[in-house]
Amino acid sequence: MRVDVADPPKQPAKPTVKGVKGVKGLKPVKPPPRRQPHRALVGWISFAAALLAIGGLAGCLALLLVQQRHAAAQQARDQRFVDAAEQTVVNMFSYKQDNIDESVNRFYNGTSGPLRGMLGANNNIDNLKGLFRSTNATSEAVVNGAALEGIDTVTDNASVLVSVRVTVADVDGTNKPSMPYRLRVIVHEDDQGRMTGYDLKYPDGGN
- Tell me the pTM: 0.68
pLDDT at residue 123, as a whole number: 92
Q: Mean per-residue pLDDT for 134-151?
A: 94
Residue 97 DSSP symbol: G
Residues 6+ apart with CB under 8 A from 146: 82, 85, 86, 160, 161, 162, 163
Using the predicted structure, report yes or no on whether residue 43 has a pLDDT greater than 70: no
Confidence of residue 206 (pLDDT cuts 50, 70, 90): very low
How far is 102 from 160, CA to CA, in rounded Å? 25
Q: What is the mean pLDDT of residues 133-160?
A: 94
Candidates 141, 191, 146, 207; CA nearest to 199 is 207
* Statement: residue 23 has pLDDT above 60: no
Please report, rounded to a whole number, the percentage of residues in the chain having pLDDT higher than 90: 57
What does the pLDDT average to over 166-170?
93
Average pLDDT over residues 89-97: 94
Quick check: 205 pLDDT over 60?
no
pLDDT digits (tens, 9 = 90+) for 104-132: 999 999 999 999 999 999 999 999 999 99
